[in-house]
Copies of this chain bind each other. A is one copy, B any other.
Amino acid sequence: MSSNNLTSGENQQERLNPYWLVGFTDGEGCFSISIFKNKTLKSGFQIFPEFVLTQSAKSLETLEKVQSFFGCGRIYENKRYDNHRESLYRYCVRNKTDLIEKICPFFNKYALLTAKKNDFELFKQGLEIINRGEHLTDKGFIKIQEIASKMNRKKPRN
């Protein structure tokens, strides 16, 4: 899986500096809570919290370093059909325990500096509701919907 395309600078960081990782996340990271209809579940919905960092194939090695730093998450290849030469790779943490015990404590300690901090705060609120099992109640589900709607906001499609 490793890419050899990266130029190795003499002063290249061997292990990730946590401030580099928080800056990289401010630039490129995404905290999201998605809600999908799923008829096989009692509630009829699946709630899907996720932390994602995306890079092109040439920077796959960087995502592998992030994966090794956090000690969790998986890297997925997304084939591209637009005008880019390379596949995209997505480093994703979806496991609730990893999100609560590894990802959140890191960004609690090393604060995000951009507005992504707001998404992270909402993400944590959502995770707490999920962790307490409250998303299975009507009230908790509505709360999750409200939180998800406030994150990564775009204008609603007409």
Contact = CB atoms under 8 A, between A and B. Distances in A.
A22 interface: yes
Q: Give chain A's interface residue range (CB within 8 Å of chain B).
A: 35 or more
A118 B5 CA distance: 9
B13 A113 contact: yes
A157 B155 CA distance: 30
Residue from A12, A115, A116 whose CB has the most chain B CB atoms within 10 Å: A115
A20 interface: yes
A24 interface: yes
A121 B8 CA distance: 11
Interface of A: 5-7, 9, 11-13, 16-29, 53, 55-56, 58-59, 62, 65, 83-85, 109-118, 121, 153-155, 157
